[in-house]
């Protein structure tokens, strides 16, 4: 089992038998593509040329961009040559992964491999070789989707070049349809925007690209979601719809990265009904003490990953965040209030509850309160009438299906106030 998991996740070495794109016959001998930004590898001569980019008005730009598309059994390879007579004025600020690379000189790649062409991948590689990757749904990029992209660039006297390799399974490219693609460039020295076919993020103007793919890629994942909303702590359900051209079986797996290691959370083996849609659901849970960093949905055909989507989680360390709505209370006040925010899934919040306990400064339990039903953000009151001065404590415990999921401890301070007995006596004496 361990061997199969590692095999599904492995990123193959870039030693390949080149399978060529439309209009090009298959290569007769193995060739090597080294992702280093140098476009001299012989394999690129066998690829499909990406014709010269044009401006939005269909005119030739002041500095041209050309490229090549290449595939093998596992990867989509792209190469670009960006002419630049003003190399000393390139915008090349250092950015983090998924940073605003569109502010640098860069090439942008748009790939729509799914049945719904309005769902597409938006990738950027800038002149430094920095990477941005996102899945665009409903016109909005979500850069928490991560692809295993390898990219490199080189600078020449009057141009710069890009090489990149993207796993086909990360893109969801298969034999069911020809993906729509577009390639664009942002040239900052003169503010020039150009593209290969159509315009940047407008799938209706892009070009279909026929790729010669391995026969294993017969499973078409048409729709998926990793949870009812973004995956959160508690119970989640990943759902997907797919169709397969063959009558074999497809294995669907759900992983979570916990403490830096990929852990299999659930798996199902689905017997394909040739050409017909199949729906599959995988339940899984995420717990704060596991420190989940990513979730990954994988489809396997004959133990090879043919679809893989990886989603980066951004969850706080605690599933419950609580804060007092006042820094302190006066001695005569009977109630305090706290703002609660929980980070639990839509499925779990339906049966989750919070137990609130109040202890006075002497440690005596003054109140136990169950809070149910929950909302993701809410205010709750608690009784502090039993003491007039000193630090009491409230404990908040979040339970999901009877199991403790998170807890918080807050200090409640009471002071002598302007209307307390002691303060009135002082005012009278004065």
Q: Stretch 162-168: mean pLDDT, rounded?
A: 96
| Closest to 261 in 3D by CA, of 305, 296, 285 | 296
> How many angstroms separate the CA atoms of 231 and 312, rounded?
10
Q: Stretch 182-202: mean pLDDT, rounded?
A: 93
Q: What is the pLDDT of residue 338?
A: 96
Q: Which of 348 and 18 is assigned the larger pLDDT?
A: 348
> How many angstroms separate the CA atoms of 352 and 347, rounded?
9
Q: Which of 1 and 176 is assigned the larger pLDDT?
A: 176
Where do the structural domains in the chain lie, given as residue ranges?
12-208, 219-312, 320-415
Mean pLDDT of the chain: 88
pTM of the prediction?
0.83
The DSSP bridge pattern shows strands 403-415 and 329-330 to be: parallel
Would you state the structure tokens that stand for residue 153, as one six-digit string? 């660039």
Percent of the chain with pLDDT over 90: 76
Would you state the structure tokens that stand for residue 407, as one six-digit string? 């807890």
Tally DSSP H helices, then E strands, for the chain. Answer: 4, 29
> How many angstroms separate the CA atoms of 111 and 104, rounded?
21
Q: What is the pLDDT of residues 223-270, one digit of tens each?
A: 999 998 899 999 999 999 999 887 688 999 999 999 999 999 999 999
Q: What is the DSSP letter of 233?
A: B
Would you state the structure tokens that stand for residue 101, as one six-digit string? 């690379």
| Closest to 30 in 3D by CA, of 19, 17, 40 | 17
Q: What is the pLDDT of residues 299-356, one digit of tens each?
A: 998 888 999 999 999 999 999 999 999 999 999 899 999 999 999 999 999 999 999 9
| pLDDT(176) > 50 | yes
Q: Is the distance from CB of 92 to CB of 153 less than 8 angstroms?
A: no
Q: Which of 20-29, 38-47, 128-137 has the lowest mean pLDDT?
A: 20-29
Confidence band, pLDDT 50/70/90 cuts, at residue 136 = very high
Q: Is the distance from CB of 318 to CB of 408 less than 8 angstroms?
A: yes
Would you state the structure tokens that stand for residue 24, as one six-digit string? 């090009």
> Between vectors from CA 305 to CA 267 and to CA 121, what angle results, nearest 5°?
105
- Strands (E) across 138-276 are located at 140-142, 150-155, 159-167, 180-187, 192-195, 207-208, 219-225, 234-244, 249-258, 261-271
Q: What is the DSSP letter of 130?
A: -
> How many angstroms separate the CA atoms of 68 and 208, rounded?
15
Q: Stretch 41-67: mean pLDDT, rounded?
A: 92
Residues ≥6 apart with Cβ < 8 Å to 9: 262, 305
| pLDDT(12) > 70 | no
User: What phi and psi values does residue 212 have, to the nearest 5 degrees?
Assistant: -85, 110
> How many angstroms separate the CA atoms of 296 and 146, rounded?
10
Q: Is the distance from CB of 335 to CB of 383 less than 8 angstroms?
A: yes
Q: What is the pLDDT of residue 425?
A: 43
Does the structural domain 219-312 have CATH classification 2.60.40.10? yes
CATH of domain 12-208: 2.60.40.1190
> How many angstroms separate the CA atoms of 252 and 258, rounded?
19
Q: What is the pLDDT of residue 59?
A: 93
CATH of domain 320-415: 2.60.40.3880
Q: What is the pLDDT of residue 419?
A: 57
Q: What is the pLDDT of residue 24?
A: 32
Q: Is the distance from CB of 84 to CB of 113 less than 8 angstroms?
A: no
Q: What is the pLDDT of residue 192?
A: 94
Give me the long-range contacts of 264-273 (CB less than 8 A, separation at least 24).
264/5, 272/219, 272/244, 272/246, 272/247, 272/248, 273/244, 273/247
CA 261 to chain centre: 17
Would you state the structure tokens that stand for residue 146, as one six-digit string? 């991560």
Q: What is the pLDDT of residue 247?
A: 66
Matching CATH topology for 219-312 and 320-415?
Answer: yes
Q: Which of 151 and 426 is assigned the larger pLDDT?
A: 151
């Amino acid at each position: 089992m361990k061997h199969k998991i590692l095999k599904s996740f492995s990123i193959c070495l870039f030693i390949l038998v080149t399978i060529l794109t439309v209009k090009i016959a298959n290569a007769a001998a193995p060739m090597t593509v080294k992702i280093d930004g140098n476009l001299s590898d012989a394999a690129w001569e066998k690829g499909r040329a990406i014709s010269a980019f044009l401006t939005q008005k269909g005119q030739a730009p002041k500095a041209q961009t050309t490229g090549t598309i290449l595939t093998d059994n596992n990867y989509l390879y792209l190469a670009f040559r960006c002419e630049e007579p003003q190399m000393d004025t390139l915008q090349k600020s250092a950015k983090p992964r998924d940073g605003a690379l569109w502010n640098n000189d860069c090439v942008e790649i748009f790939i729509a491999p799914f049945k719904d062409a309005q769902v597409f991948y938006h990738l950027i590689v800038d002149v430094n070789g920095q990477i941005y990757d996102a899945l665009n749904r409903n016109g909005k990029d979500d850069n928490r989707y991560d692809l295993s992209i390898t990219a490199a660039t080189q600078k020449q006297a009057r141009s710069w070049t890009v090489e990149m390799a993207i796993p086909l399974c990360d893109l969801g490219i298969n034999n069911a349809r020809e993906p729509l693609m577009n390639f664009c460039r942002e040239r900052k020295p003169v503010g020039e925007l150009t593209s290969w076919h159509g315009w940047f993020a407008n799938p209706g103007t892009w070009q279909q690209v026929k790729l010669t793919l391995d026969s294993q890629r017969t499973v078409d994942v048409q729709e998926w979601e990793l949870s009812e909303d973004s995956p959160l702590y508690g119970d989640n359900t990943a759902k997907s719809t797919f169709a397969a051209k063959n009558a074999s079986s497809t294995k669907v797996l759900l992983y979570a990265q916990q403490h830096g290691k990929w852990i299999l959370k659930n798996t199902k083996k689905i017997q394909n009904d040739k050409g017909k849609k199949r729906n599959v659901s995988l339940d899984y849970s995420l717990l704060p003490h596991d420190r989940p960093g990513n979730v990954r949905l994988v489809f396997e055909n004959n133990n090879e990953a043919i679809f893989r989507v990886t989603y980066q989680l951004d969850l706080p360390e605690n599933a419950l965040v609580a804060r007092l709505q006042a820094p302190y209370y006066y001695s005569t006040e009977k109630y305090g209030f706290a703002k609660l925010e929980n980070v639990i899934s839509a499925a779990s919040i339906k049966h989750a509850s919070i137990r609130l306990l109040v202890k006075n400064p002497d440690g005596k339990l003054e109140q136990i309160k169950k809070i149910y039903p929950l909302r993701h953000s809410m205010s709750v009151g608690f009784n502090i009438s039993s003491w007039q001065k000193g630090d009491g404590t409230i404990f908040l415990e979040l339970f999901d299906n009877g199991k403790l999921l998170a807890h918080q401890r807050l200090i409640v301070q009471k002071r002598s106030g302007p209307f307390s007995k002691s303060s009135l006596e002082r005012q009278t004496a004065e």
